Amino acid sequence: MSAEQSPDGFLFDLYRRYIGEPEDRTDVYVGFGLFLGGIGLASIALLLFLWSSTFEARSAAHITWAEPAYGIVMIALPLLMLGIVVLLPSERRVLYTSIAGVAVTLVAVVGFLYAYPDDWNGYGADYTAQVVAIYAIGLAGLTASTGAALIAHYLDMAQRVQAVETDDGDEEDELTDADVRGDIDEAMEDVELSWGGVQKTEHKRLSFSEDELDEVSIDADAGTKTTRSTGVDAQVAGLKGLKGGETKTTTSQSTVDDQTAKLKELREQQRAEEMATADDDGSPLSGLLDRLRQLLGRE
């Protein structure tokens, strides 16, 4: 037994592949037995008919081989069709109709064996029409029951496929916003976001409910600082500064001539101070004046 073969056997594998899961082991064995038995009987009947054709028509040898060939093939077809009904998961009334049809065909076979060859096809009493009519009635009932079993099996398979597709659609519709949000949070759990190069910091936040602040009077204007926007360019510059890599540049509003004039004035002031310092150090009069200031200051 191969590794892929079911432990139940080849017949059960064949049944599951083409029909479905068997409801009863007996149905599988009986159904395949009737089906394969009908095929086997038809093959035997064909061989007997071919062998009888080698003899002279209606001779003793021809009748000896032809009579069982006709009888066997008349039984083979009903058995094959009954095997199909047994294999399919059909209703009991369909099965009973098939069995009744097979019974009617068996009556016709017995009538054929009785009438052939003396009362068959224009000879003797000629019971050909009666036998054929009985066989046709049984075969018609058997054909109707077999067709009903096949249609019922097809509808059952279609309903199963539709049920599977409906279940798949319901599972897709059950996806809610909470499920989507949970998937996003799970995917972003290990991701650290930063704004403009600012590192993520761990801190604690205080939260207050509206009920806790109902009885507390809070001055909204106390200790607040109002910041007014200076324009889009200033905001863009501030964002660039947060990102890092760009520094704030301060530009002078004065011209080159103003800066030159201030530099000359500063140099003249330094030169005047140096001359005054030189005069104070080299003149005796300046020393006398300093003494007088000191004396007057003491008085």
Ranges of each domain in the chain = 10-162
pLDDT value, residue 111: 94
Which residues make Cβ contacts (< 8 Å) with residue 28, sequence separation at least 6? 11, 12, 15, 22, 87
- Interatomic CA distance for residues 174 and 160, integer angstroms: 21
pLDDT value, residue 291: 64
Q: What is the DSSP letter of 198?
A: B
pLDDT value, residue 25: 77
Beta-bridge partners for 195: 198
pLDDT along the chain (299 residues), means of 10: 56 76 78 92 95 89 92 94 87 89 95 90 87 94 90 78 64 65 72 52 56 54 54 64 55 66 81 68 58 61
pLDDT value, residue 109: 95
In this structure, which topology does domain 10-162 adopt according to CATH? Answer: Four Helix Bundle (Hemerythrin (Met), subunit A) (1.20.120)
Sign of CA dihedral 142, 144, 145, 151: positive
For 252, the 3-state DSSP assignment is coil
- Interatomic CA distance for residues 274 and 276, integer angstroms: 6
pLDDT value, residue 3: 44
The reported pTM is 0.52
